[in-house]
Amino acid sequence: MEEIAIKSSKHFEFIDITREIQNVVRKNRVSEGICHLYVPHTTAAITINENADPAVKNDIISTFAKLIPWNGFYTHLEGNSAAHILSTIVGVSAVIPISRGELTLGRWQGIYFCEFDGPRIRRLIVSIMGE
């Protein structure tokens, strides 16, 4: 198990962490197995989506902002209910197969850390299992 620190610079942002996760896989020298990612935060998440065209992540972010407005009619006193809702919708974990020492992602896929209440320094737990 390894912990990665992720520094967000915006209130709402998708950070491509594909390369960092692949480096963890290589460092652990696992040829066949799985990579489990876990976000131990209630206002952040992890997702896999297209990383070839930055417009896709921008479209996702703008759609989320319309669907779950930051200044909605929420009762949570901290004022960040939208971030909690987004974390729940997107999810705090992902599992990716490892084959031949590489993450088995689709051609256009990348791994994104989703910041919904930044900027902050966040943690991501990476567990590699396999041979």
Q: 16-53, pLDDT tens digit by residue?
A: 999 999 999 999 999 999 999 999 999 999 999 999 99
Average pLDDT, the chain: 97
Put simply, whether the predicted model's pTM sits higher than 0.85 gets the answer yes
Kindly report the number of other CB atoms within 10 A of residue 85's CB atom. 18
CATH number, residue 21? 2.60.120.460
Report the number of distinct structural domains present in the chain: 1
Residue 64's identity, in one-letter code, is F
Q: Give CA–CA dist 115/44, Å, rounded.
A: 5
Which range marks the domain in which residue 88 is found?
2-130
